[in-house]
Each structure stands twice: as structure tokens, then as C-alpha cells.
């Protein structure tokens, strides 16, 4: 018995739909994992680090390599800041830095998971570094329990001790004990904007506008505490010129 035209039509439609879904899925896979929020037009995944094993540490340059290690807990790999770095910066600024070694970012969206492993007090913190030119010129986000002139803000290190530039910023964050938090950092060169999100990735907890630094290294760490870093993803329109060295 010959198949009816309507039945053939439905089969062709189903095949076309399947092909379309397959192409869409492959395209999304090529673009990498989806961000937690929207991306500006033209952004693509530039860097991803899941810390599958200890070789991941080769991606980073450290203020003190002895302070950092690979760790795994509940099947999740991480970069762990386990001790205080033996490092004295030239100007007052954080001492524990782990920077993505060979990629320079300008405009970007960064998402990363952080857990704080230190004791609770007002300046209990983890930091994000960006626009890093050299050890005395960079931005950093200080995420702390309580805000003051030296904590929980976006800071500028410009050949001088750090100064806060975020207006406004919230009163602090609740790190908890053993709790992972998703943090998102957005940087645009076109308007100088910097936005930071913590857990709630719809409303920023701090914002700033500044044009001191354009392209630079991105990194993670703490002013003088301990913690872990996992699931790093950076999207953007492209990299800047690569540079060799940072601490030397």
C-alpha cells in the first residue's frame, strides 16, 4: 500500500526539524558552555578551566607558587590558596595572586566559582584581578564580609596603594562555611564600566566606571586569606597582545 501524501509530508517535516535541532545543538557546543546571563553581541568563549587534574596549574603564574595547590573535594577539582604567599608588593595591594599566564583580556565577561576557607571576620575575602599590567598596575574586586574603605569594593592599583572606585557597593557578602558561590565580572572598554555579581546574577553588588587600564591579565586570589577557585570561564570579542612574564 502506498503511503499517503500527508504522511510523507509529516515524515519530511520531522526530518527537517531533527536536522535543525541537531545543527543548533552542534553550534551551541562549538560556542562552549552557556553563561549564566546574557552576553554582548560578538562575544565567544575565550578561556575555560575546569581543573580536571593537577596539570591545570600550568595555566597560571603565581605571586608565590608554594601557597597554591591543586585540590579535589566531592569530585570537584579546584585551584586552592592554602597558605599565605611570601610576597611583598611594591605598593599596598593583595599578596595572593594566581593569574592566567599567557592570555591578555580587554573587554570580557568572567564567571567563576569561589569558596572562602578562612575564619569569619570583617575583611574575610576572595579577590578577582583584571586589567593587570604589572605588579603595581591593575584592578581588583575585593569580596568581603563587611564593606569599608579597604574592603568589599572595586579597587584601583595605579603605582600607588589601592583606592576604591566602586559607587555603589553593597555592605558585604555572606561567604558561609564550605559554600561555593558563583561570581560574575563584566568589563567594557567602550564605556569603562565594571559590574560585579555574587550568586544573584541579575543585580550587581558593585559597579564602577574607570579607564585607567584596558588590556591586562585576569586572575584570582585573596588579600590575606585562603580559598578555592573552580569552573573558570571567560567570554569576550577576542584577546589582546600576549606578553611574557609578570612577577619577574
pLDDT tens, N- to C-terminus, the chain (248 residues):
455 555 555 555 455 544 433 333 333 433 456 788 789 999 999 999 999 999 999 999 999 999 999 999 989 999 999 999 999 999 999 999 999 998 999 999 999 999 999 999 999 999 999 999 999 999 999 999 999 999 999 999 999 999 999 998 999 999 999 999 999 999 999 999 999 999 999 999 999 999 999 999 999 999 999 999 999 999 999 988 766 668 76
Contact status, residue 64 vs residue 85, Cβ threshold 8 Å: yes
Distance CA 215, CA 3 (A): 63
pLDDT score, position 128:
98
CATH number of 44-236: 2.60.120.560
* Strand residues in 149-246 grouped as ranges (E): 153-158, 163-164, 181-187, 193-198, 206-209, 217-222, 227-236
Residues 6+ apart with CB under 8 A from 35: 109, 111, 184, 233, 235
Which residue, chain included where needed, has cell 569530585? 75
- DSSP H or E stretch at residue 31: helix 5-31
Query: CB–CB of 89/114 below 8 Å?
Result: no
Torsion of CA 55, 56, 59, 64, to 10 degrees: -90
Provide Rg for the chain, Cα atoms.
21
What pLDDT sits at residue 224? Answer: 92
Write down the pLDDT at residue 1: 44
Q: How far is CA 193 from CA 187, 188, 190, 235, in A?
A: 6, 5, 8, 16
Query: What pLDDT is attached to residue 88?
Result: 96
Alpha carbon of residue 165 to chain centroid: 19
Three-state SS at 227:
strand
Amino acid at each position: 500500500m502506498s503511503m499517503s501524501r500527508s504522511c510523507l509530508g509529516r515524515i519530511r517535516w520531522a526530518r527537517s526539524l531533527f536536522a535543525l535541532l541537531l545543527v543548533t545543538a552542534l553550534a551551541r557546543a562549538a560556542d562552549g558552555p552557556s553563561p549564566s546571563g546574557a552576553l554582548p553581541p560578538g562575544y565567544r568563549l575565550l578561556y575555560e578551566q575546569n581543573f580536571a587534574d593537577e596539570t591545570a596549574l600550568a595555566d597560571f603564574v603565581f605571586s608565590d607558587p608554594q601557597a597554591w595547590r591543586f585540590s579535589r573535594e566531592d569530585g570537584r577539582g579546584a585551584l586552592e590558596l592554602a597558605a599565605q604567599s611570601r610576597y611583598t608588593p611594591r605598593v599596598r595591594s593583595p599578596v595572593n595572586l594566581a593569574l592566567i599566564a599567557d592570555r591578555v583580556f580587554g573587554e570580557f565577561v568572567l564567571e567563576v566559582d569561589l569558596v572562602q576557607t578562612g575564619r569569619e571576620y570583617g575583611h574575610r575575602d576572595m579577590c578577582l584581578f583584571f586589567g593587570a599590567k604589572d605588579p603595581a598596575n591593575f584592578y581588583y574586586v575585593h569580596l568581603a564580609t563587611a564593606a569599608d574603605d579597604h574592603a568589599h569594593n572595586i579597587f584601583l592599583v595605579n603605582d600607588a596603594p589601592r583606592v576604591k572606585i566602586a559607587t555603589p557597593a553593597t555592605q558585604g557578602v555572606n561567604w558561609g562555611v564550605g559554600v561555593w558561590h558563583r561570581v560574575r565580572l563584566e568589563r567594557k572598554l567602550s564605556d569603562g564600566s565594571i559590574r560585579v555579581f555574587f550568586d544573584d546574577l541579575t543585580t550587581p553588588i558593585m559597579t564602577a566606571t574607570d579607564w585607567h587600564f584596558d588590556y591586562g591579565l585576569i586572575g584570582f586570589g585573596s588579600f590575606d586569606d585562603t580559598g578555592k577557585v573552580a569552573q573558570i570561564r571567560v567570554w569576550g570579542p577576542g584577546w589582546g597582545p600576549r606578553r611574557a612574564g609578570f612577577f619577574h
